[in-house]
C-alpha cells in the first residue's frame, strides 16, 4: 500500500480542504437555508446571492466543499497503473481496511462521546458516515468503499468483457454525465409530476431506482450503437471547442 499512501502525501491539498470543510461545519449552521418542514427538499433562499453561494459551497446537495476532495482523490487514483495487479490488490486491501476501521471508529466515537461530552445529535453530526453532513468520516469511508467498487469493477469487466450485461453497464458508464443530469431532470421530474417525491416507502424508492437504472441502461445501449458519446457529452465537447 506504500504507493497508494505516497500519493496522498504528494497531494496534501485534499486533506487541507477536508479539514477546512469540517471546521466550517462546526463553526456555521449547516442547516441554514433548508426548510425545516421539508429538509433537503426545499432551499428557502436559493435565489439570493448569499443563499446561492451557501448552497453551492457549503450545504447544498453536493457542495464544492467537500465534494472537490473526491475530485482530487480521483486525480490521485488516475496516476496509478490500474492494469497492474499488485496495485489493484493494494487498493483493494486499503479500501477494505479503511472502510472497516472508519466504520468501527465512527460507532465507537459516537457511543463514547454521548456518554461523556456530547449529546446524540452532536456526536452524529461529527462522527456519522452518512452524507448529511458530509464530514471527514463520510469522505474517508466513501472513498475507501469506492476503491473496493472500482477494483471489483475492473476485475469483473476483464473476466466477463463480452457478457451482454457487462457490456450494457459499460455503455451506461460511458454516458455518465448524461445520466447524472437525467436522473435529476427526468428521474426526479417524473416523481414530481405524479406527486410521488415525498413520503414514499423504501420498497417504492428501491423499485423506482432499479427501473430508472434499467431504463438508463437500455437507452445507453441503443445510443452507443449509433454514437460514440452521450448527448450531453457531445454537447459539452462542442462547447469546449
Q: Please state, rounded to an integer, the average pLDDT across all residues of the chain.
A: 88
Name residue, grid cell 415525498. Answer: 198
Residue that wins the pLDDT comparison between 42 and 137? 137
**pLDDT confidence of residue 108:** 94
- The domain ranges of the chain are 1-159, 161-241
Per-residue DSSP letter, 188: I
The pTM score is 0.80
pLDDT digits (tens, 9 = 90+) for 173-193: 999 999 999 998 999 999 989
DSSP per position, 109-122: HHHHHHTTT--HHH
φ/ψ (deg, to 5) at 92: -65, -45
pLDDT digits (tens, 9 = 90+) for 71-127: 888 888 888 899 999 999 999 999 999 999 999 999 999 999 988 788 888 888 999
Q: Which three cell numbers stand for residue 128?
A: 456519522
Range 90-119 burial, b when 16+ CB lie within 10 A, else e: bbbebbeebbeebeeebeebbeebbeeebe
pLDDT digits (tens, 9 = 90+) for 193-216: 998 887 889 999 999 999 999 999
* Residues 20, 29: Cα–Cα separation, whole Å: 15
Amino acid at each position: 500500500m506504500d504507493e497508494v499512501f505516497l500519493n496522498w502525501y504528494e497531494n496534501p491539498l485534499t486533506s487541507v480542504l477536508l479539514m477546512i470543510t469540517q471546521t466550517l461545519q462546526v463553526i456555521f449552521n449547516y442547516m441554514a437555508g433548508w426548510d425545516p418542514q421539508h429538509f433537503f427538499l426545499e432551499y428557502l433562499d436559493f435565489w439570493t446571492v448569499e443563499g446561492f453561494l451557501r448552497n453551492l459551497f457549503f450545504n447544498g446537495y453536493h457542495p464544492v466543499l467537500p465534494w472537490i476532495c473526491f475530485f482530487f482523490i480521483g486525480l490521485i487514483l488516475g496516476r496509478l497503473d490500474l492494469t497492474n495487479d499488485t496495485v489493484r490488490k493494494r487498493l483493494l486491501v486499503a479500501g477494505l481496511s479503511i472502510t472497516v476501521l472508519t466504520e468501527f471508529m465512527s460507532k465507537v466515537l459516537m457511543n463514547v462521546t454521548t456518554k461523556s461530552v456530547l449529546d446524540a445529535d452532536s456526536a452524529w453530526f461529527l462522527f456519522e458516515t452518512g452524507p448529511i453532513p458530509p464530514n471527514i468520516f463520510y469522505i474517508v469511508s466513501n472513498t475507501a468503499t469506492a476503491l473496493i467498487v472500482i477494483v471489483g469493477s475492473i476485475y469483473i469487466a476483464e473476466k466477463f468483457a463480452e457478457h451482454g450485461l457487462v457490456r450494457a453497464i459499460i455503455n451506461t458508464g460511458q454516458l455518465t454525465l448524461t445520466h447524472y443530469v437525467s436522473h435529476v431532470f427526468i428521474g426526479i421530474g417524473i416523481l414530481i409530476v405524479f406527486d410521488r417525491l415525498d413520503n414514499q416507502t423504501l420498497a417504492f424508492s428501491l423499485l423506482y431506482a432499479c427501473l430508472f437504472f434499467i431504463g438508463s441502461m437500455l437507452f445507453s445501449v441503443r445510443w452507443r450503437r449509433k454514437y460514440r458519446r452521450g448527448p450531453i457529452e457531445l454537447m459539452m465537447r462542442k462547447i469546449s471547442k
